[in-house]
Amino acid sequence: MSEMPSFAAHNGFRLPAVGLGTYRLNGDAGAAAVAAGLDLGYRLVDTAFNYENEGAVGAGIRASAIDRSEIIVATKLPGRHHAAAKARDSIEESRHRLGVDATDLHLIHWPNPSVGQYGEAWQALVDAQQRGTVRHVGVSNFLPEHLDRIESASGVRPVANQIEVHPYFPQQEALDLHAERGILTVAWSPLGRARELLQEPVIVEVAAGHGITPAQTVIAWHVARGTVSIPKASSIEHQQLNLDAASVVLASDEVEAITGLGRADGRLFDGDPATHEEM
């Protein structure tokens, strides 16, 4: 496998172009999948308090042959823990569940703007970073106004914003804003509506031209656009295919053609961060 491309944030923090998503990877099977992925070559593992699998992820990290210092563990603070005291406890709880001295990247999962406490949650992450129990701080599903508010209040800019990005919802404006500010874009659900998306003629055609699968084509599209993708994969076969896709170079017209699949209603669900609440 070729060396994994990576992208850098405004402070020099780097993420590999492809990480391992772990949503619904739970229990012993989840731990085994994480360990297998790390041994194959993954160095970014993404989880969340609300996935209820931080324990399994931590067990997988310890079971792998990879030194802890080489692994970036990302997790997320849930909406119900935005208040300052709850946020501090939640950050510590995630660390204990994972069995790590510090989380490498800790995100606010959703801004939940109607609750209005994401500023407290952000300050709790910044404080944890200063204590050394969180190495890098970021957000997820934040809109420009949310990013502006937390940076203005704290003086600290997130290193990453994990948002919904896939060919049906390419989010070009968000990617441009993040690039301008040195904020890494991490794509959740990077394959979108996989069954439907992977049958799109343009994706099938590009895949055939490169001798790769449609799923690999979409991952290569993310890499070409400078976004970190975190597809979930439990089988070694799919994990390896996803890793291999990072080294595929698409032509600019191929990237544009896939981006052209974007739809006004491209979201997977009614997950507009301006109104969606997830506790």
Q: DSSP characters for the chain?
A: -PPPPEEE-TTS-EEESB-EE-TT--HHHHHHHHHHHHHHT--EEE--GGGT-HHHHHHHHHHSSS-GGG-EEEEEE-GGG-SHHHHHHHHHHHHHHHT-SSEEEEEES---TTT--HHHHHHHHHHHHHHTSEEEEEEES--HHHHHHHHHHHS---SEEEEE-BTTB--HHHHHHHHHHTPEEEEESTT-SHHHHTT-HHHHHHHHHHT--HHHHHHHHHHHTT-EE--B--SHHHHHHHHHHTT----HHHHHHHHTT--TT-SSSS--TTT----
List 42, 51, 118, 168, catalytic entry: 51
- What's the full length of the chain, in residues? 279
Q: Helix 144-154 crosses helix 172-181 at what angle (to 10 degrees)? A: 20
The rounded distance, in Å, linking the Cα atoms of 216 and 237 is 12
Q: Give, in order, the Cα–Cα distances in Å from 123 to each of 86, 88, 118, 120.
A: 12, 10, 9, 5
Answer yes or no: 23 catalytic. Answer: no
Active site residues: 51
